[in-house]
Amino acid sequence: MTIFFDFDSTLVSKESLDEVIALALADSPDRIEQTEAVAAITDKGMEGAIPFTESVRQRLAVAPVTHQHFEAIGKELCEHITPRMAELCAELIERGHEVYIISGGFKTSILPVAKLLGVHADNVWANTYTTDQSGVLTGVDTDNPCFTDFGKSPVIEAIVRKNAPPRPYVMVGDGANDLAAFESDAVDHFCGFAGNKARTVILERAPRVAYTTSELRDFLFSEVAV
Ligand SMILES: [Mg+2]
C-alpha cells in the first residue's frame, strides 16, 4: 500500500503558507491592509474564482517572504502535528507501506515535520522557489509538478512514473485538490480528513471521511491493506 498524505490541515493542524505570510507581515506598518488583501486572495482561491497557482503568486506578491520565514515556520509546525499522526506514519512505515507527503505548500516548511514523521525527504513532493542572495523569494518553480491547478493527480502520476510504488494507492487530505486525485482515478482509495478542517466539498463528495487519526488508521488497516 502507498499512502499519499496531504500536509496542510491534514498532517499538521495549520496552513503553512498562511503562517509564513503572517510571519513575513508581522513587522510591516501596513500589515492590516496586507493581511486583508491576502485573506481576500485566499478566499477567491477557495471559491474557485482564481486558480491555485494564481492565488500563490498573488499572495507572495503582497508579502515580502523569505527563505528564513519558511525555515522558521517549518520548525514551528513541528509543534502542530495532528494528534497521533506521528504514530500512524511510524506504524505504516514499520509495516512496510510507502508514505509520501504531497503538497501545494513549500518544501522548506514541510521537511522538518517530515523528518519527525520518519518520511524520507525524497518522498516529500511540494513546491519550491528561487531566492536572491539574502533569501528574498524571486519566484516559484513553475516546472515542479506540484505547481498546478489540477490538484494532486499530476503529482501522483509523476511519482508513479518515477518510483512505481506498491498499490493500492490511497490519498488522504482535507481539500478539493486532494479529492481530485480520486475523482480522476489517480488513486484507488480516498479518505477525507476532517480532523482539522471539515470542508463541505469533502463531507459531500468523499467516499470516506475520518474525523480522527484513529478513524483513519481503522480505514487503512481494516479496509485497504487487508
Ligand atoms: Mg490540506
Cα of 84 vs centre of ligand 1, distance in Å, is 17
The domain total for the chain is 2
C-alpha 204: how far from chain center: 21
Residue with cell 509564513: 20
Cα of 155 vs centre of ligand 1, distance in Å, is 15
Cα of 137 vs centre of ligand 1, distance in Å, is 23
- Are 65 and 161 members of one domain? no
Q: Is residue 95 classed as helix, strand or coil in its secondary structure?
A: coil
Cα–Cα distance between 100 and 114 in angstroms, integer?
A: 9
Which of 74, 92, 110 lies at the terminal end of a domain, its last residue? Answer: 74
For residue 49, the model assigns a pLDDT of 85
- Are 202 and 128 members of one domain? yes
Q: Could you list the residue range(s) of the whole structural domain that residue 101 is in?
A: 2-14+81-224
Cα–Cα distance between 113 and 28 in angstroms, integer?
A: 28
- Are 68 and 155 members of one domain? no
Per-residue tens of pLDDT for the chain, all 226 residues? 999 999 999 999 999 998 999 999 999 999 999 999 998 998 787 777 889 999 999 999 998 899 999 999 999 999 999 999 999 999 999 999 999 999 999 999 999 999 999 999 999 999 999 999 999 999 999 999 999 999 899 999 999 999 999 999 999 999 989 999 999 999 999 999 999 999 898 999 999 999 999 999 999 999 998 7
For residue 70, the model assigns a pLDDT of 98
For residue 30, the model assigns a pLDDT of 93
For residue 47, the model assigns a pLDDT of 74
- Are 7 and 25 members of one domain? no
Cα of 161 vs centre of ligand 1, distance in Å, is 24
Cα of 181 vs centre of ligand 1, distance in Å, is 13
CATH of the domain at 99: 3.40.50.1000
Q: Which helix (H) or strand (E) holds 102?
A: strand 98-106
For residue 226, the model assigns a pLDDT of 72
Cα of 171 vs centre of ligand 1, distance in Å, is 12
- Are 100 and 177 members of one domain? yes
- Are 69 and 146 members of one domain? no
Cα of 10 vs centre of ligand 1, distance in Å, is 6
* Cβ within 8 Å of residue 152, ≥6 positions away: 4, 6, 102, 171, 173, 177, 178, 180, 181, 186
Of 117, 172, 170, 154, which is closest to residue 1 (Cα–Cα)?
170
Cα of 147 vs centre of ligand 1, distance in Å, is 15
- Are 106 and 185 members of one domain? yes
Residue with cell 488513486: 187
If phi over 0 gives left and psi between -120 and 50 gives alpha, with beta otherwise, what is residue 30? alpha
- Are 139 and 152 members of one domain? yes
- Are 67 and 178 members of one domain? no
Beginning with the edge strand found earlier in the chain, give each strand of the sheet holding 98-106 in spatial order. 124-127, 98-106, 2-5, 169-173, 189-193, 209-210
- Are 9 and 41 members of one domain? no
Cα of 107 vs centre of ligand 1, distance in Å, is 14
C-alpha cell at 197: 478542517
Cα of 174 vs centre of ligand 1, distance in Å, is 5
- Are 202 and 95 members of one domain? yes
Cα of 18 vs centre of ligand 1, distance in Å, is 12
For residue 193, the model assigns a pLDDT of 97
Cα of 133 vs centre of ligand 1, distance in Å, is 31
Cα–Cα distance between 136 and 182 in angstroms, integer?
A: 36
CATH of the domain at 43: 1.10.150.210
If phi over 0 gives left and psi between -120 and 50 gives alpha, with beta otherwise, what is residue 105? beta
- Are 21 and 6 members of one domain? no
Cα of 32 vs centre of ligand 1, distance in Å, is 25
Cα of 198 vs centre of ligand 1, distance in Å, is 11
Of 226, 222, 220, which is closest to residue 87 (Cα–Cα)?
220
Which of 74, 96, 112 lies at the terminal end of a domain, its last residue? Answer: 74
